[in-house]
Amino acid sequence: MSSSPKDAARDELGADEKEPTDLPFPSSLCHGCAARRYIRSGRGSVFILCPLLSQKYPRQPVSMCSLFQPISDDSEAKKEK
């Protein structure tokens, strides 16, 4: 049985939480994108949320995306505020 973002409880990782070490789909383009958010389910699984897409959870791994925004030092600083 696989878990999904629709599992009961889930939380966006807070700014004070370090990036999870158990990232899903390491080859996904989303990991290098400034738009992505990491969501941890109540069961501890990590999901990649995209606030730019209507479906929120893109089919992984993403290899091409017209909305990709490279992470810059500036974008990381904004997330931490």
Select 3 or 35, whichever has its Cβ closest to ligand SF4: 35
Select 1 or 64, whichever has its Cβ closest to ligand SF4: 64
Closest distance of CB 72 from ligand SF4, Å = 14
Cβ burial, residue 41 (10 Å; 0-12/13-18/19+): middle
Select 32 or 42, whichever has its Cβ closest to ligand SF4: 32
CA angle, corner 23, sides to 31 and 10, nearest 5? 100
DSSP helix/strand/coil, 39: strand
Residue numbers of the site for ligand SF4 (CB under 6 A)? 29-30, 33, 35-36, 50, 52-53, 58, 62, 65, 67-68
Closest distance of CB 8 from ligand SF4, Å = 24
Cβ pair 23, 17 in contact under 8 A: no
